[in-house]
Structure 1
Amino acid sequence: MKIGKAANMMPNSGAVYVTASNLPTGIIYKNKALLSSQNYWHKFIVCNAASTSRNDILDAIMEQVYPMDLIPVSFWRDNHGANFLARNCEHAIEKLCKDNLVVANPKTNKKFQLNLVLKFATTKEFTIDIKKNILVVLTKRFNTLTKVLNLVKFHEEQDLLEYCPLSQPKIMFFVLHLAKSLFPHPEVYLLQNNGIKILNPLESLLTQVPYIKSIDLRYNNISNIDNLHYLNIFKLTELYLDGNPFCEKLSVDEYVKLITNTVKGLRKLDGQLLKLDNLPVAKRNYFCNFQVAPLVNQFLEHFYHVYDSNNREGLKELYHKDAMLSLNSTYYPNQVTSISARIHTYSQISRNLQKLANFSMMHNNLYLGNQQIANILLNLPATQHDPYSFTVDVMSYTNSSIILSISGVFKECIDGISTDERIYGFFRTFVIEIINRDGLCYIVNDQIHVYNALSWQVRDSFKYKQPLIETPSVPQNPEERKHVLKAIKLITNMNTQWCIKYLEECDYDLKNTLIRFVELFNQEKIPDHVFEQPKNGV
């Protein structure tokens, strides 16, 4: 097709003009034969759309007629507005007419007003072949070395002459079918950010099932869980689905169970290992709720900074006035630390119930109150902890409390200098009371277990300088992303679509997203319509 051909055409002599004013006359039903015929092109005229991009106009119309089929071609502008042609779209036209040819514009408060020209041209008078153009784009987006076909935001591809949204099942099926003929053995399909709602077009890849190892469907609009059964046809080892609406309906455990029961043999889901040698994969750090990670990191960093300092007096302020502390110790033989270990320092205040000969003394080594606890900790040897060795599990988190366990390695210091002769392992459980939203909290229970470090711990410790714990800077699963999205919406007051936009630009890093938002807000580069309340209310 030559660019501008449709724009230069005159309407067919039998063309029928449809406007909001003549809809009440029954003009659509009188010309139903024109709508049902596959031999006619119909012209769509979108008024008051001068300042709106092609994709935004067509996205709005497609959203309004969904799930009816409508494939726009040959978009152009003239003095009457934005124009495009479509055929074989009877039900979509009927839906638009029921809405009085008015289409909501999600970008502004204004609405698009449509006019139609039925039978604008016949399929003989106007021909179009977008296959060649799509094949060129697909070739550009295929990596022959990695066998990855990148269809991310396919409709925004600059080299596409026509609007090809994969959110339209027919278009998605057509594009995947062309890709299949072009690349017989691709291993990875990237389908992120395409507004995909249903997955039945994936059936076009049936002949490629033995070769496809990974499909990425992140940040689409899949809301119906029943759609997932289309993934049954594949033998995938890796799958990405986070960022879809259905994810918000499920807890993390429910989500993982649903997907693994639907798609057998998965090793990775949303980038996280599910199994290793057919055994569940353990995570080094576990957070029952991603929102608590910054608070936990801040608490541990401050606690061990004070604990390893020359003055532990500040620890008193970290414990509740009615807090409890208990300690026990174990000596392990046949370790590289066994000869130099000095467990006696810890065992003399240990509350190991298994070693108590007289249970009437079980309360003697249970230390109560922040002053008594501070005195005990002050009398323990000076230490230097290895933050890289830390493993943290947050087992419980509510608005008022945190229960977390931390294990790792520390050295004792002699005259202020750490020594490799005395290296210990530890396991510690804190119960923390949260006082307010500003992060004020107190330790109400502290249980410590100390032992001479195991040989492998000595081998692997004190090699790197790292943050205290490896809290993920970005969310690791759909549940965590949901919390980050909720936080951004609460702070910025932007709608969901724009919150996701900025989060994606910053790889879901909460801090960088907020910095980006503040910069653009101060420059007044964020449109008013993206705020769910007036801008001055932010």
Structure 2
Amino acid sequence: MLLFVLGERGKLGGMNRLTDTTGEISRQQVKFDGAFRMNQGTLFRRSYPNLAVVTRVLNADRGDFMVKREVRNTDFTVVGEHDDRTAPQFRSRKGRGSHKGRSYDRSRRDRQRGGHPGGFGGPGPRSRLEDTDGDVTMSDSSQDNSSQHRFNPYGRPFRKGDGRFDRDRRQGKVGGGRGGGGGGGFRGDRGGGSSSGGGGRNQSGWSKVTIPHGRKYDKKWLLTALQNICSVPFTPVQYHVDHDRAHFYVDDLSAATALRKCSHKITDTDGYKVEVHANSSAPPSFLLSDLKPEHLEHLKQCMAKRFDGSQQALDLNNIRTDPDLVSQKIEVTLNRKTHMEAVIRIIEENIPELTCLNLSNNRIHKLDELAELVTKVPNLKTLNLSHNELKSDRELDKVKGLKLAELWLNKNPLCLYFKDQASYISAVRQRFPRLLKLDGYDLPAPIGFDVETPTTIPPCKGSCFCSDEIKALILRFLQQYYSIYDSGDRQPLLDAYHDGASLSLTTPYSSQNPSRSSLGEYHKDSRNLKRIKDSTMRFRLLKHTRLNVVAFLNELPKTQHDIASFTVDVNTYTNTLLSFTVSGVFKEVAVDGKSRDSTMAFSRVFITVPAGGSGLCIVNDQLFIRMATTEEIRRAFVAPAPTPSSSPVPVLTAQQQEMLTAFSQKSGMNLEWSQKCLQDNEWDFNRAAEVFTQLKTEGQIPDVAFIK
């Protein structure tokens, strides 16, 4: 509790004046037997935000009285720069920030007698405690030790205030603040605009201006008066009257701040001051609807007038104020998704060869819709995004596919976050390496080759094994594993897993509805660590022990894998551990046994330990599933996979049996694949040998063909 006492002896008339000044909230008669030898008194109490003021008028035997005042801080909230009870005179002082409050007119005599020692007036927390006629002055003798640490209502707030003050300031509940704003949601003019009251960060850039008792004013007179006195030009949008108040919107934070400062500066015909409020707001309701077909036609005509065919340039600078659109009462705001999409659609349908586009002064704060320019306007070389509301250079990532030679970004908030020009240029050139001009200034020539030489990607190599022994071991394991996996009953896979085995499934994140995609069955069990941050969920999606692993595998859709598409890479090999990755494609098998049209690709990491004489036991299984690429689909299931236990081997003649044995020895393939090669070539040994040599050179023969 903070306490200070003000006291003075006087006559009864002084008490009356004191009562008139402070106002009486609650009164009760109390008795005192203190050191002043007083036996009766009157108590006055008045509450202010964060303060409680108690005034005691104590009567003495001689007819004199003593006035005592106590000021208590009720919730220990420190009132600092955000206090809205500061007089105009105090606001003019430098170094105190911006304060908002009602205007009070006190005479010089009042300020000298009842004001702060420094001569500041206004109804601050301390000035309200004092008698306007000077009957009460501050006393140096306080009866409470807490008076040594007096509450300073105009001092800077503590860096670690009480929780409620910090929370209110973050939520924009505390008025005032630097930059003339009241919400605390904006910091000065770092975005090229000023802060706006009403709390919170205003992403839309719109503010709603309210005039209390505005119904009685003529619209033309009111708007003209505001425009004459406002320091920032503004365009009122959707002026309307609701009950007794007049409202309109402005799409300019600096204009909203300037309008707020116009409050009480205009006097109406009745002698009253016009009050003006401006708070951050969502865009007007009429802007939330899409452009009508007739509006799109007017927009198309407007864009045609702004198009320069000789330069293949389109100038959409500040298009919302275009006279043709304004005359038709059409509001086009390019910071709205549907409006920007309409503009890009018109460009695509009429001028796809566009090379220069000017989008300056359109309040654009995101570039999501402009990403379509990469494919729809491929020849675009110059893009002007100056005088907008882009707050981060990360927005440029959405359009980095454009091959720009000239870019304008000046007068965007993002420009303020770079420590120097070099870092600014470097960040922009990371997205646009061919850029020659930035904000109208020539850049150093980019480092690179003058002529782009076509490059060919090296062909994908086949499997990589440490040795032939490891190769035979892994291929035999995969043949057995996937013959069971695709059989329909995966329960026998229990023998392939260690008792403490673990398994996880991952799918790539899809922006579309996962349930509607072909990976829907797998997506619900996906343990994608880039998307799942909750540790409990991460643990739940990890399958532990071989019983849980095989039970989970049994719940997955039935599949048919293309063994011929498998590629194997050995990651680690020791005497006690073997880790390898197998990749390939597969199809899901429906209940009727037919495979579905969608082809999927997988990559699977097996970490195994030796088991038995020459077997492997899985201790960790990481399965990644995605949709197959066009090339993978084209090459998948070209030849039907062999079925190990289906049809009996056809009876061969003695000559064919001798030819088969010789071909297997010379090619290195097993008897099954050697027979297939000879049969496909009508048992022509030489032609089969030529086809084998060609396919092996192209890497099209799977490793499983060499397992004997």
Same fold per superposition (TM over 0.5):
no
Return the structure number with greater relative CO, CA threshold 8 A, min gap 6: 1
TM score, norm. by length of structure 2: 0.26
**More strand per residue: 1 or 2?**
1
Larger Rg: 2
TM-score (norm 1): 0.33
